[in-house]
Structure 1
Amino acid sequence: MLYRPKFDDLYRTYTRAFHLEVQDSYGVASENEQLQRFLGGEPTTYPEDWQQWDAFVKEVTDAGASIQRLRVVTEPHSDYTRFLLHHTDRNVAAGEYVRYLPRQNVSSDAYTVDDWWLFDDAVLAFSIFTPDGEWAGGAITEDPVLVGRCVEVRDQLWPLGIEFETYLRGQG
């Protein structure tokens, strides 16, 4: 297991990071207040931990790294994925390449049930969450079979994903 800040060093060590997200809700306590405001139609602010993430993304992408994020989502969206969609423009502005893939457009056999990060097709980090939905760290492996499977998943799904701006326009 790697925890912050050692997990963050992976982004500084490798030049390409790919993140697969497959959950429709994460239940992160630090997001609850803003999620409830969003659901109530009230103005929201960007959660502080997300602001820190964006600053970090800007740092590593300005240094030449590439960060891709693919969200496999159920449509119609859960409350949580609608909330994420509302704020994803900040991820993109920070330097991430974000795509959405409607779950009904791909077989469940084509992706994994876990979220993970893939660094330079060499290191795989499975996202580990606490029972209440908080990110707990990354379970790291360089096992060539696991890494190879995730490279295949990325290579198959990334081209099917819809770029954030295009996907957002289609939601209106």
Structure 2
Amino acid sequence: MHLEMHDQHLVTDPRYLAWKEGRPQPETPGGKAFRETVSEAVARGVTIRRARIVSEPVSDYVRWEHSLTADHNIAAGELVRWLPRAFASALPLPGNPFWVFNRRLVRFSLFGGDGQVVGHQFTEDRAVVDLCVAAFEAVWDLAIDHEDYSPPAA
């Protein structure tokens, strides 16, 4: 389970910069490795779900993410849903985006104000894992499948 809650990050990604300039997006080693890892896990029977809470109208970064989700995330085997932030107001959510692995380990991603990753926190604390699983499931239940979500124009 992966819950994203930010409207921009990694804005120096060469693929994002190429997209903004209308140029072809270069393949990156990290992107290729990610798709291979996801594909291998899914082939072993692992279900990988990603939910994104987004502000509307969406940022350029989220518009870019949406444009590559089908060919990048979904093609690798991920299930992806989108939740407009207005529908998340009543949900109890952790303060940072996270991954939950096997319902036993959480990796929080820590971002600076400029959207760059500044670190990660890991925990197997049962209460924190349960909070993250419950938060993810609440978002997932409200969120819109990728193929049915069209980011509104600004």
| TM-score bracket, shorter-length normalisation | 0.7 to 0.9
Structure 1 segment 80-159 matched on structure 2, within 5 A:
80-89=61-70, 90-107=72-89, 109-129=91-111, 133-135=115-117, 138-159=120-141
Q: Which residue of 1 aligns with 2:3?
A: 20
Aligned residues with identical type, % of pairs: 34
Assess if the C-alpha contact under 8 Å between 1:46 and 1:87 holds in 2: no
- 3-state DSSP class of the match of 1:114? coil
TM superposition shift of 1:57: 0.5
Q: 1:60 to 1:38 in 2, by over 3 A?
A: same
- Counterpart of 1:61 in structure 2 is 42
Aligned-residue RMSD, C-alpha:
2.3
Q: TM-score, normalised by structure 2?
A: 0.85
Residues 5-44 of structure 1 aligned to structure 2 (within 5 Å): 18-29=1-12, 31=13, 33-44=14-25
Cα distance 1:121–1:60, how it changes in 2: closer, same or farther (>3 A)? same
**Structure 2 letter corresponding to 1:56:** T
Deviations 1:82-135, CA, capped at 9 Å, x for gaps? 111110012101000110101011206532230111122221111234676454
Q: Which runs of 4+ in 1 moved over 4 A?
A: 129-137
Question: In 2 relative to 1, CA 136–59 (structure 1 residues): closer, same or farther, beyond 3 Å?
Answer: farther
Is contact 1:71-1:99 (8 Å) kept?
Answer: yes
CA contact (8 A) 1:22 1:113 kept: no
Partners of 1:104 and 1:131 in 2: how far apart? 22
CA distance in structure 2 between the aligned counterparts of 1:171 and 1:164, rounded to whole angstroms: 14
The count of corresponding residues between Structure 1 and Structure 2 is: 152
- Structure 1 CA distance for aligned equivalents of residues 24 and 90 of structure 2: 35
In the alignment, the residues of structure 2 paired with residue 56 and residue 135 of structure 1 have an alpha-carbon distance, to the nearest angstrom, of 21
- Quote the Cα distance in structure 1 between the aligned partners of 2:90 and 2:38: 30
Higher helix share: 1
**Which secondary structure state, in structure 2, belongs to the residue aligned with residue 55 of structure 1?**
helix
Of the structure 1 ranges 114-123 and 101-110, higher mean CA displacement relative to structure 2 is found in 101-110
Counterpart of 2:60 in structure 1 is 79
Please give the secondary structure, in 1, of the residue aligned with 2:149. Answer: helix
**Structure 1 unmatched ranges of 5 or more:** 1-17
TM-score (norm 1): 0.77
Q: Residue 148 and residue 138 in structure 1: after superposition, are their counterparts in 2 closer, same or farther (change >3 A)?
A: same
Q: Which amino acid aligns with 1:140?
A: F
